[in-house]
Amino acid sequence: AQSVTQLDSHVSVSEGTPVLLRCNYSSSYSPSLFWYVQHPNKGLQLLLKYTSAATLVKGINGFEAEFKKSETSFHLTKPSAHMSDAAEYFCVVSVYGGSQGNLIFGKGTKLSVKP
């Protein structure tokens, strides 16, 4: 069965410092993995996705994530945080691997950015 664990419920960084949001997954199939961002009272926006191509995935707004099969991890990083990055971030695995199906969400990590 597929599952996702986000290791931190809350991360706080200072503006201009690196961001690391951790995610571990469990999947019986070759997984498709995603990071979504949700700003307060808004819908979810896809940041980036991994679907068995390059293991280092670049997304929007300077975010990237690396798929590490040996560690079953898909951590999200950004070299320099911006105030506008403050939001909730969800690590997501697709139930059916690379094909269609429902998504399983982690519980989310709230990112705070201090000036």
Partner 1 sequence: NAGVMQNPRHLVRRRGQEARLRCSPMKGHSHVYWYRQLPEEGLKFMVYLQKENIIDESGMPKERFSAEFPKEGPSILRIQQVVRGDSAAYFCASSQAPGTSRYYEQYFGPGTRLTVT
Structure tokens that stand for 75 in this block:
């951590």
Is residue 3 a contact residue for partner 1 (CB under 8 A)? no
Is residue 104 a contact residue for partner 1 (CB under 8 A)? yes
| Part of the chain binding partner 1 (CB under 8 A), chosen from 15-23, 56-64, 66-74, 99-107 | 99-107
Is residue 7 a contact residue for partner 1 (CB under 8 A)? no
* Whole-number Cα distances in Å, 50 to 20, 59, 80, 92: 17, 10, 22, 10
Burial of 88-101, coded b for 16+ CB within 10 Å and e otherwise, reads bbbbbbbbebeeee
Opening angle at CA 112, ends 109 and 115, nearest 5: 160
Q: Quick one: 19 or 91, whose CB is closer to partner 1?
A: 91
Write out the binding residues for partner 1, residues 54-83 only, by CB under 8 A.
none
Instruction: Give the nearest distance from C-beta 21 to partner 1 in angstroms.
Output: 14
Among 32, 76, 78, 111, binds partner 1 (CB under 8 A): 32
Please give the size of the binding site for partner 1, defined by CB under 8 A. 22
- Contact yes or no for 38/111 (Cβ under 8 A): no
